[in-house]
Chain A
Amino acid sequence: MFFEYLIAGFLVMAGLFGFVGSFGLLKLNDPMSRLHAPTKATTLGVGGVLLASMLHGVVVEGHLSLHELMITLFLFLTAPVTALFIAKVHIHRHETKTSLPKAGEDGIWATHNVTETKEAPAEDQQQG
C-alpha cells in the first residue's frame, strides 16, 4: 500500500512539474527565461514518471526492470546540449557583444566569435 501511495505521489509530482514546465513556456516573457521551464519537465517531470514506472514494475508487475534508468541517463546527457543550442540561437540572433557580461580573459563569447570569412578559394583546389 505504501508503495502504491509512493507511486501515486511520484506520478502526481511528475504531472505537476511536467505541467509547470510547459506552462512556464507560455507564461515567462523573455526568451532566455522560457528556456528554463522545460528543464523541470525533464528532471522532476519525466524523472517522476520513470521512478513511478520502475516502482510500478517491481511492486505491481512483480519484476525488476531498470531500463528506465537508461532514459534518465540519455535525458541528462542530452538536455543540457539542447538547452545550450537554443540559448546559442538566442544569443546569435538577439544578443550583442555588449548586451552580455564580459567573457573574462577570453574577451568574447564563443557564439559571437565569428572569424571573418576567408577569401573565396580558387576552384582548382582539390577536395579533402
Chain B
Amino acid sequence: MRLFRRLLPHPILTLLLTLTWVLLTSTWTLNSLVFGFLLGLLIPFLTQPYWPQQMRLKNPLMIIEYILIVLYDIVVANLVVARIVVFKPNAKRQPAWVAVPLDLLTPEAITVLAGTITMTPGTVSADVSAEGHALLVHCLDAPDPNAVRDEIKQRYERRLKEIFE
C-alpha cells in the first residue's frame, strides 16, 4: 500500500491526466492509454510542490449536479444578458456592486464560486475582501442587488460548501 502511495501519490490526478491525454490525442488505443498513464504518473510528481496542500473533496458526486446547474444557468443568463446588451438602453440599465459575504473558507472553493459567478453572464467577480471573507461582485443589470447576493449564496455557495468543506 505504501509502495502504491509512493508510485501513485495523486491517483485522481493521474486518472484525470490520463484522460486528458486520450482527449488530446483523440486516439482510443492501448498505446495512448499506457502513454497517457505514464505521463499521468510523471507530471503530478513534477508539479506536486506547487500544490502543497491536498485538496479534499467531501462530496464529489455533487459536482455533477453543480455542473449541470451552472451550465443551465449559463444558457439562460446568456439569453438574458444578450437581450440587455442589445436592446436595453444604457440609461435604463441598473449596474450594481454586490458584496457577497462568504461562508466558504478554502481557496479552491472560493475560486470555483468566483469562477461560476463570472462565467454566468450578468455577474462578474471583481475582488475579494482583505481577509477573504467576502466577494465583490458586479452586476450588469440588477435592480435588486440583495436578490443577486442571496441567489449566489443559495444556488452556488451552499452547494460548494457541501462539495468542498
Given contacts A104-B133, A109-B127, contact A80 B26 (CB under 8 A): no
Distance between Cα atoms of A118 and B40 in the complex (Å): 44
B7-15, B31-39, B41-49, B117-125 - the one binding chain A? B117-125
The secondary-structure label for the interface of chain B is mixed
Residues in A with CB closer than 8 Å to B140 are: 28, 33, 36
Within 8 A of A (CB), among B70-92: 74-75, 78, 81-82, 85-86, 90
Residues in B with CB closer than 8 Å to A113 are: 130
Residues in B with CB closer than 8 Å to A32 are: 95, 124, 126, 138
Whether B129 and A109, one on each chain, are in contact in the complex, defined by CB atoms closer than 8 angstroms, is: yes
A34-47 vs B, Cβ < 8 Å mask (1 yes, 0 no): 01110110111000
Within 8 A of B (CB), among A32-91: 32-33, 35-37, 39-40, 42-44, 63-67, 69-70, 76-77, 79-80, 83-84, 87-88, 90-91
Count of chain A residues near B, Cβ 8 A: 49
Write the residues of chain A forming the contact surface with B, with a CB cutoff of 8 angstroms: 16-17, 20, 23-24, 27-30, 32-33, 35-37, 39-40, 42-44, 63-67, 69-70, 76-77, 79-80, 83-84, 87-88, 90-91, 100-111, 113
Known: A16-B82, A106-B132. 9 other contacts (CB 8 A): A28-B140, A43-B78, A65-B26, A70-B20, A80-B115, A80-B125, A84-B127, A91-B127, A104-B129
B23 proximal to A (CB < 8 A): yes
Write the residues of chain B forming the contact surface with A, with a CB cutoff of 8 angstroms: 20, 23-26, 28, 74-75, 78, 81-82, 85-86, 90, 93, 95, 97-99, 101, 111, 114-115, 117-119, 121-134, 136, 138, 140
Q: How far is the CB of A111 from chain B (nearest CB, A)?
A: 5
Whether B85 and A91, one on each chain, are in contact in the complex, defined by CB atoms closer than 8 angstroms, is: no
The secondary-structure label for the interface of chain A is helix
Q: How far is the CB of B40 from chain A (nearest CB, A)?
A: 15
Q: How far is the CB of B103 from chain A (nearest CB, A)?
A: 11
Whether A104 and B121, one on each chain, are in contact in the complex, defined by CB atoms closer than 8 angstroms, is: no
Residues in B with CB closer than 8 Å to A70 are: 20, 23-24
Residues in A with CB closer than 8 Å to B85 are: 20, 23-24, 27-28, 36-37, 40
Residues in B with CB closer than 8 Å to A67 are: 23-26
Distance between Cα atoms of A3 and B107 in the complex (Å): 41
Q: How far is the CB of A82 from chain B (nearest CB, A)?
A: 9
Residues in B with CB closer than 8 Å to A40 are: 78, 81-82, 85, 121
Instruction: Please name 8 pairs of A and B residues whose Cβ atoms are closer than 8 Å in the assembled complex, sorted by A.
Output: A20-B86, A36-B85, A36-B122, A43-B74, A67-B25, A80-B115, A87-B138, A101-B97
